[in-house]
Amino acid sequence: MMNWDLTLIYKDDTHLNNSLNELSKQINNFVVKYENKLKNVNNIDEALDELDDIYNKISTANAYAYLKFAQNNQNGGFLQKISEKCTELASKIVFFELEFCSLDNAEKLASKSKYSYMLSNWLINKKYLLEKQAQSVFMKMQNNSANAFSRFFDEFLADIEFKFDNKTISEEELLSKLYNPDRKIRKKAADAFSKGLKNNIKPLLFTFNMIKNIHKTECEIKGYEHPLKARNISNEISDESVNSLIKTCENNFNLVHKFYKKKAKLLNIKQLKDYDRYAPLNLNSKNDWDFEKSCKLVRKSFNEFNPKFALIMDEALKNKAIDVYPAKQKRGGAFSYGIKPQPYVMLNHTSNRRDAFTLAHELGHLIHQKLAGDNQAFFYSDTPLTTAETASVFAEMLFFDSIKKDLNKEDKQALLASKIEDIFATLFRQINFTTFEIALHNHEGELSLEQIQTIWMQESKKMFANSVMLRDDYKYWFSYIPHFIHSPFYCYAYSYAQLLVLALFGLYKSNKCENFVQIYEKFLSLGSSKSPSDLVAMFGLNLDDESFWQLGMNEVKKLVDEFCDE
């Protein structure tokens, strides 16, 4: 079994505590040196370099605590303790952004700084800043409001006992059975999952309403014009662009209907139901994607594109930076946590083919985080969600393109169907999630279970229409989606990235862009030091062009047409 080795971050908890004590001293000295004195500073970059170092250390401490919690939810008390300490330290330096934005010569300083892009964004969005004391209080309250409910959600969901064939299994193990070729097993798994959620729905419903209320309060306090505004700002994308993305996706739901009607014929099922969405087409194909096999084939796909990507993967495996298998009290799902110098990946590998794609997805994140972390200051090593998800989805496309070469016609069609379903899940389903959240957060007051379920089913049915029948129990499935709790309105970033990646991948395969591989590596290495528009412009594409989203959608149509014409 492969588990994380967190000693690359801190040797032990004592090392962490000693580091935080040293950091506290560094911050106190920083405050004495710069608070209420920025107008007299000759070299703003020198101050920003130290601030960058401080935030990097705070982030590393938070990362260590969260990774321990994700591995074992019994470490919740430790996470809370470290989060509170880090918030306390961060609250002491909130003065810097506030004071910089109030300087008469702030724009001039920003234009000459190596941090000019970040400083310019500070100035653009300064109207949403609170006064220092209010900002400090707001930060400290997060640990006892949104962050507390996020922690509760993770702990509670991880402890739900799902029953299948008289055995207790994890959420990940149960959901993996939705990919089983036996329709009876798929139905039994879906029914067991619905029952588990239904039996635990009251605390989950309460958590949803609390996150909704907390988000509403934050919008009111900071002056955000609508619930999506804070996310759009952090993603560095305009309201108009997000609305255009949603509209483009909803206008192409017919691709979903066309695909599933064809799949129903191939499966000889008159009416597909929710538990049939991921049914494999090739019933004779072995679903034996163990971790060793998955690693070998993902690495091969990376090496074919850029050998440096394969070496970064090798380093992560060598450093034991990938936690692989499901375990009791371990968080569900998968993620990559960007830490300098070694990002960490969490998986819940159950040896399905989808798990191999998840490995490629999370390693795409890791490669992006590693390249940006090695080439940029901490401030620029993290990226907006829109470009962060680009690397992960592109890695999936590399893997898909690599493994399909060696398949026979039957296996190739099955793989194509699986990939289209993944694209639908990343593209259209995430738009469903986003419009569900919009309706949720625009609703005045607390919502009853029936109200949330009605919204959930209405938005979900838009995507599938009559191509897939969503049974009544599907109304409980909103309650396990972690992004709704951890990061409201996160989900459209997946859709954004999927269309962007399809446009980029189409460009790559067309051979119309010279040095694509080198440009792509630079694109990742730049992190968030440039705007998403400027980064994408490196490939000759224009994010502000209204027809941009259709470029990616055209690639989806090609895949669906190829599948339906087979």
pLDDT of res. 132: 81
Instruction: Answer whether 477's CB lies under 8 Å from 208's CB.
Output: no
At residue 260 the predicted structure's pLDDT band, cuts being 50, 70 and 90, is: very high
Cα–Cα distance for residue pair 486/461, rounded to 1 Å: 25
- Is the pLDDT at 287 greater than 80? The verdict is no
- The DSSP string of 264-325 is HHHHT-SS-BGGGTT--S-TTS-----HHHHHHHHHHHHHHH-HHHHHHHHHHHHTT-EE-S
**CA torsion 478→492→273→185, rounded to 10°?**
-70
pLDDT of res. 537: 93
What share of the chain has pLDDT > 90, as a percent?
79
Q: Quick one: average pLDDT of 8-25?
A: 97
pLDDT tens string 213-256: 999 999 999 999 999 999 999 888 889 889 989 999 999 999 99
pLDDT of res. 365: 96
Quickly list H helices, 376-511. Answer: 378-381, 385-403, 409-426, 428-442, 449-464, 482-486, 492-510
pLDDT tens string 145-187: 898 999 999 999 988 989 999 999 888 889 999 999 999 999 9
Burial of 55 (0-12, 13-18, 19+ CB in 10 A): middle
At residue 409 the predicted structure's pLDDT band, cuts being 50, 70 and 90, is: confident
DSSP secondary structure letter of residue 543: T
At residue 290 the predicted structure's pLDDT band, cuts being 50, 70 and 90, is: very high
pLDDT of res. 43: 94
pLDDT tens string 318-337: 999 999 999 988 988 899 99
Cα–Cα distance for residue pair 193/480, rounded to 1 Å: 10
At residue 515 the predicted structure's pLDDT band, cuts being 50, 70 and 90, is: very high
pLDDT of res. 283: 56
Per the DSSP assignment, residues forming a β-bridge with 164 are 167
Cα–Cα distance for residue pair 318/210, rounded to 1 Å: 42
Cα–Cα distance for residue pair 558/505, rounded to 1 Å: 13
The whole-chain average pLDDT of the chain stands at 93
- Is the pLDDT at 543 greater than 70? The verdict is yes
pLDDT of res. 139: 79
Element (H, E) at 39: none
- Is the pLDDT at 73 greater than 80? The verdict is yes
Instruction: Answer whether 386's CB lies under 8 Å from 497's CB.
Output: yes
Q: What are phi and psi of 315, to 5 degrees?
A: -65, -40
**Residue 125 DSSP SS3:** coil
Quickly list H helices, 126-275. Answer: 132-142, 146-159, 171-176, 183-199, 201-222, 229-234, 239-250, 254-267
Cα–Cα distance for residue pair 189/163, rounded to 1 Å: 9
Rounded to 10 deg, the angle between the 492-510 and 385-403 helix axes is 50
Q: Which residue has the tokens 């970040």?
A: 118
Cα–Cα distance for residue pair 521/161, rounded to 1 Å: 43
**Among residues 323, 331, 66, which one has the least CA distance to residue 172?**
331
Q: Quick one: average pLDDT of 335-361?
A: 94
Q: What are phi and psi of 345, to 5 degrees?
A: -115, 135
pLDDT tens string 76-106: 999 999 999 999 999 999 999 999 999 999 9
Instruction: Answer whether 204's CB lies under 8 Å from 479's CB.
Output: yes
- Is the pLDDT at 263 greater than 60? The verdict is yes
pLDDT of res. 286: 63
Q: Quick one: average pLDDT of 24-42?
A: 96
Quickly list H helices, 9-43. Answer: 13-34
pLDDT of res. 297: 97
Q: Quick one: average pLDDT of 111-116?
A: 96
pLDDT tens string 420-450: 998 999 899 999 999 999 999 999 999 999 9
Q: Quick one: average pLDDT of 130-144?
A: 80
Cα–Cα distance for residue pair 201/114, rounded to 1 Å: 50
pLDDT of res. 285: 59
Instruction: Answer whether 297's CB lies under 8 Å from 399's CB.
Output: yes
pLDDT of res. 129: 87
CA angle 508, 512, 513 (to 5 degrees): 65
The residue count for the chain: 566
Q: What are phi and psi of 168, to 5 degrees?
A: -95, 125
pLDDT of res. 236: 86
